[in-house]
Structure 1
Amino acid sequence: MKKRTLTLQKYGISSKRYKELCGFCEQYPEWKEELLSLEPSAKSQRIDGMPYSQTNNTSDETSDLAIKRMAILKKIQLVEETAKEASPEMWEYIIKSACYEQPFWYLRDIARIPMSQAAFLDRRRYFFYLLSRKR
């Protein structure tokens, strides 16, 4: 079955921008997995008597891990908060559709989405509009 693309000219989003936003959303499952794999663990800074500077390349593994986790968490929160803003009651379905690429027939038949396809696609378009503004 051919995948339909949304038309977002009404919101001023070009097809290239839409593809970029889709690519961003499709990374969401990877971010969730990576966040789970980056478990916080207490590691101490290497102490060798040398003061920290740019030349000796000493780094704190705990802070590096925390920075990486926060960057991933911000992306996840951006997608989730935007979906909640677009449709507070249907945000989980928007995530499934935009991030996990689940087609509407799956959401209708398996996940039992309680709305019509036209209404859902309007909310999905609005989600991409909000995401485009925030990103």
Structure 2
Amino acid sequence: MPLAKERNLQLLDYDISDNRYRELKYFCRQYKEKQKILRSITELSSPQFQVTRGDAISDKTAKIATKRAQLTDDIKIIEQAALEADGELYAYLLKNVTDGVAYEYLDIPVSRAGFYALRRRFFYLLDKRR
């Protein structure tokens, strides 16, 4: 499925700058990558304490748990913003913001203008959460 050349959304009405929009957009584009990494971290190993620098002690299990928690939170933030934007159309919205699938390829039951209004609302909600 070809990806259309994307233009930046104008979100100044939502007090979101172009740079902040791009940050949120690329945060969403990492969605699949975050899911893949989360799936790969399947088991927590027993703690292995190692002296790394001076008195600093690292705990592999704690690091893995922290990473899992961060990935889970990031995924949840994206999904919740999409659900809050529109509970019925959130799957289409996720496909667009996470995979970059253009409106024309989504076969979504809403007008183009309606979809882009929904997309702007999504980024507004995501900005509030993040």
TM-score, normalised by the number of residues in structure 1: 0.82
- One-letter amino acid of the structure 2 residue matched with residue 10 of structure 1: D
Deviating beyond 6 angstroms after TM superposition, the runs of 4 or more aligned structure 1 residues are none
Residues 79-126 of structure 1, C-alpha deviation per residue, up to 9 Å, x if partnerless?
Answer: 101111111111111111111111011102xxxx21111111111100
* Whole-angstrom distance in 2 between the partners of 1:105 and 1:93: 11
Runs (5+) with no aligned partner, structure 2: none
* Whole-angstrom distance in 2 between the partners of 1:119 and 1:101: 18
- Once the two structures are TM-superposed, the CA of residue 5 in structure 1 deviates from its matched residue by 2.4
CA RMSD of the aligned region, Å? Answer: 2.3
**Counterpart of 1:33?**
36
Q: Percent identity?
A: 38
* Whole-angstrom distance in 2 between the partners of 1:101 and 1:36: 22
- SS for the counterpart of 1:13 is coil
Mean alpha-carbon deviation: is it higher for 54-63 or for 10-19? Answer: 54-63
Report the structure number with the largest CA radius of gyration: 1
TM-score, normalised by the number of residues in structure 2: 0.85
- One-letter amino acid of the structure 2 residue matched with residue 117 of structure 1: R
Higher strand proportion: 2
- SS for the counterpart of 1:99 is helix
1:120 aligns with 2:122: no
After TM superposition, list the pairs within 5 Å mapping 1:5-84 onto structure 2.
5-41=8-44, 43-46=45-48, 55=54, 57-84=56-83
